[in-house]
Amino acid sequence: MTFHYSSYQSHGVMTPNGKRVKETKVEVENGQGVKQVTIADEKGIHSDTMPLTKSEMKNIQNHIFMPKLFHAVTKRVMKHKKTMQHKKRKMKTMRKKGSRTHRKGKKGA
């Protein structure tokens, strides 16, 4: 017997920085399952996917509620989002610094 299951939820939240939409998705098919979190805000769309563990699959088949199912995936999405923001900020400062040193080098030559 094959077990098929899918669930999709979307939560919109107003934050001080604007609107943020968090979408959670679970799909189970042929004994394999994935959980996905997508966060969309004014800075873009960030998403990550993780496979379901055997215990999570068993709980889904038995219709048992798991309050922290998406916790690890959400942490990964937020960490990736912060890392990307840091990289963008770092690149901006490197470009600015690089242009100043480049100009200084021309004056001294």
Per-residue pLDDT, 58: 92
Per-residue pLDDT, 21: 92
Per-residue pLDDT, 30: 85
Give the neighbor-by-neighbor strand order of the sheet with 4-15.
Answer: 4-15, 18-29, 32-41, 44-51
Report the number of distinct structural domains present in the chain: 1
Per-residue pLDDT, 99: 55
Q: What letter represents residue 17's amino acid?
A: N
| Rounded mean pLDDT for each run of 10 residues along the chain, 109 residues in total | 88 86 92 92 88 93 91 84 70 65 50
d(CA 61, CA 19): 34
First vs last Cα of the chain: how many Å apart?
A: 78
63: left (phi over 0), alpha (psi -120 to 50) or beta: left
Q: Which domain holds residue 49?
A: 4-108
